[in-house]
Amino acid sequence: MPKREDIRDILVIGSGPIVIGQAAEFDYSGSQACKALREEGYRVVLVNSNPATIMTDPEMADKVYIEPLTASVVARIIKREQPDALLPTLGGQTALNIAVQLSEMGVLEDFGVELIGAKVDAIRKAENRELFKESMRKIGLEVPRSDIASDVSEAIEIADEIGYPVIIRPAFTLGGTGGGIAYNREELREIASRGLELSMINQILVEEGVIGWKEFELEVMRDLADNVVIICSIENFDPMGVHTGDSITVAPAQTLTDVEYQRMRDAAIKIIREIGVETGGSNIQFAVHPDNGRMVAIEMNPRVSRSSALASKATGFPIAKIAAKLAIGYTLDEIPNDITKETPASFEPTIDYVVVKIPRFAFDKFPTADPILGSQMKSVGEVMAIGRTFEEALQKALRSLEIGRYGLGCDGKDQEVTREEIIQKLRFPSAERVFYIRYALKNGFSVREIYELTKIDPWFIEKIKNIVEFEEKLKKFSKRHKIGEIPSDVLREAKRLGFSDRQIAHIFDCSEREVRKVRKKKGVIAVYKMVDTCAAEFEAKTPYYYSTYEEENDALRTARKKVMILGAGPNRIGQGIEFDYCCVHAVFSLKDEGYETIMVNCNPETVSTDYDT
Task: DSSP for 496-561, please give it.
Answer: HTT--HHHHHHHHTS-HHHHHHHHHHTT---EEEE--SBTTSS---S--EEEE-SS---PPP-SS-
- Please indicate, yes or no, whether residues 368 and 353 belong to a single structural domain of this protein: no
Query: What is the pLDDT averaged over residues 539-550?
Result: 80
Q: Give the pLDDT of residue 50.
A: 87
Phi, psi of 232 (to 5 degrees): -165, 140
Q: Per-residue pLDDT tens for 312-333?
A: 888 888 888 999 999 999 999 9
Parent domain of 394:
359-525
Q: Which pLDDT score, from 0 to 100, does residue 340 have? A: 66
Same domain, 16 and 108: yes
**3-state class (DSSP) for residue 298:** strand
**Cis amide leading into 165 (omega within 30):** yes
What 3-state DSSP class applies to 201? coil
pLDDT on residue 539: 59
Same domain, 169 and 185: yes
**pLDDT at residue 612 tops 80:** no
Mean pLDDT rounded to a whole number for the chain: 90
Q: Are residues 196 and 254 in the same domain?
A: no
Tell whether 496 and 573 lie within a shared domain: no
The residue among 358, 389, 421 that closes a domain is 358
Q: What is the CATH number of the domain that holds 160?
A: 3.30.1490.20
Q: pLDDT tier at 536 (50, 70, 90 boundaries)?
A: low
- Rounded to an integer, the average pLDDT of 509-514 is 96
The CATH number of whichever domain residue 582 belongs to comes to: 3.40.50.20
Please tell me the pTM assigned to this model: 0.91
Over pLDDT 70: what percentage of the chain?
A: 96
123 within some domain? no
Whole-angstrom distance, CA of residue 491 vs CA of residue 485: 10
306 contact partners, CB below 8 Å, separation of at least 6: 21, 22, 23, 25, 245, 605
Higher-confidence position of 533 and 500: 500
Query: How many structural domains is the chain composed of?
Result: 5
pLDDT number for residue 130: 82
Which of the four pLDDT bands, split at 50, 70 and 90, describes residue 613? low
**252: cis peptide before it, omega within 30°?**
yes
pLDDT surpassing 80 at residue 21: no
Q: Are 591 and 613 in contact (CB under 8 A)?
A: no
- DSSP β-bridge partners for residue 527: 548
What backbone phi and psi angles, to 5 degrees, belong to 88? -100, 5
Integer Cα distance of 302 and 93 in angstroms: 10
**pLDDT tens for residues 258-284?**
999 999 999 999 999 999 988 888 999
Which range is least confidently modeled, 141-145, 286-290, 334-338? 334-338
Asked, for residue 541, whether it belongs to a domain, the answer is no
- Between 61-75, 232-246, 335-349, 491-505, the lowest mean confidence (pLDDT) is in 335-349
Residues 6+ apart with CB under 8 A from 144: 167, 207, 208, 210, 287, 296, 298
Confidence (pLDDT) at 304: 78
CA distances to 228, 323, 345 from 222, rounded to whole Å, are 4, 9, 11
Q: Any idea what the CATH number is for the domain that residue 352 is in? A: 3.30.470.20
Are residues 488 and 376 located together in one domain of the fold?
yes
- On whether residue 4 sits in a domain, the answer given is no
Asked if the structure places residue 140 within a domain, the reply is no
Range scoring the smallest mean pLDDT among 17-31, 145-159, 459-473, 487-501: 17-31
Least confident of 37-51, 93-107, 364-378, 391-405: 364-378
Q: CA angle, corner 76, sides to 73 and 80, nearest 5?
A: 140
pLDDT at 180: 84
pLDDT for residue 129 = 77
What integer is the mean pLDDT of 370-398? 93
- Longest C-alpha distance within the chain, in Å? 81
Decide which of 324, 358, 392 is a domain's last residue: 358
Q: For residue 61, tell me if it sits in a domain.
A: yes
- Residue 45: predicted pLDDT: 95
157-171, 291-305, 443-457, 539-553: range with lowest mean pLDDT: 539-553
Neighbours of 424 (CB within 10 A): 14
User: Cβ atoms within 10 A of the Cβ of 73, count?
Assistant: 15
Pairwise CA distance, residues 397 & 103, whole Å: 43
Q: Is the pLDDT of residue 101 over 80?
A: yes
Taking residues 492-507, what's their average pLDDT? 97
Decide which of 200 and 23 is more confident: 200
The model's pLDDT over 441-456, given as tens digits with 9 standing for 90+, comes to: 999 999 999 999 999 9
Indicate whether 238 and 340 sit together in one domain: yes
Shared-domain flag, residues 301 and 385:
no
Mean pLDDT of 83-103: 90
| Torsion over CA: 507, 510, 514, 518 (sign) | negative
Q: Is the pLDDT of residue 552 over 60?
A: yes
Q: Is residue 162 located within the same domain as residue 290? A: no
The pLDDT tens digits for 166-179 are 888 888 776 567 78
Residue 375 shares a structural domain with residue 346: no
Q: Compute the Cα dihedral for 267, 273, 275, 281 and give only its sign.
A: positive
Residues 240 and 158 in one domain: no
